[in-house]
Amino acid sequence: MEFDTRAFRNALGSFPTGVAVMTTTGAVPGEAEDASHIGITVNSFTSVSLDPPLVLWCIDRRSRRYPAFATAPGFTVSILAAGHKAVSSRLAGPGEHRLDGIELIPTELGPPALADSLAVFECARESVQDAGDHAILLGRVLRFARHADVGAPLVYFQGRYGALAQGTPPDGIIGRRVTDSE
């Protein structure tokens, strides 16, 4: 029996994810050498550990951006709000991945964050692990900021962008566990 990678990808798309843009310092081979910062859209971002504070994300090792991210001393994670759909689309596919024309804010680490992000994490590269056709980039969080008043998150589900509905949970459904804190 042959493994159907398209069906596998479609099944994975049943899991809604948030969307983030990773930025780092460096140029992409084949693109303008004067690019000081590049970005890539991902939906593979997740927390790993609180102590020490670690996060991870995955990148296709065939990506032209892979060498820049795999060798950079660190990266910045910008969690996207629903209004970032155009920026996400621009940095998701092939083509130019410079950050020109995107509203950015500086970070202490160096790679900028996207303005109006829901949250920003500045990460030192902890390790890079091969995992099939992708690599797992593990980062140690050095600094972070949360911007709660920006709005709803950008969500990716079944191959399309969306946003979470905000508001009170339906009757009979508890919206927050007692163990959750603000």
pLDDT for the residue 165: 67
pLDDT for the residue 31: 58
Assess if residue 167 is contained within a domain.
Answer: no
Domain span at residue 56 reads 18-161
Q: In this prediction, what percent of the chain has a pLDDT beyond 90? A: 58
Assess if residue 11 is contained within a domain.
Answer: no
Provide the residue type at 61 as one letter. R
Assess if residue 3 is contained within a domain.
Answer: no
Tens digits of residue pLDDT in 40-81: 999 999 999 999 999 999 999 999 899 999 999 999 999 999
Assess if residue 28 is contained within a domain.
Answer: yes
Assess if residue 2 is contained within a domain.
Answer: no
14-18, 29-33, 65-69: lowest mean pLDDT where?
Answer: 29-33
Tens digits of residue pLDDT in 129-174: 999 999 999 999 999 999 877 788 999 988 888 877 655 555 555 5
Rounded Cα distance, 61 and 117, in Å: 27
pLDDT band with cut points at 50, 70 and 90 for residue 108? very high
Number of domains in the chain: 1
Assess if residue 178 is contained within a domain.
Answer: no
What CATH number does the domain containing 64 carry? 2.30.110.10
Q: Is the pLDDT of residue 105 over 80?
A: yes
Assess if residue 62 is contained within a domain.
Answer: yes
Assess if residue 70 is contained within a domain.
Answer: yes
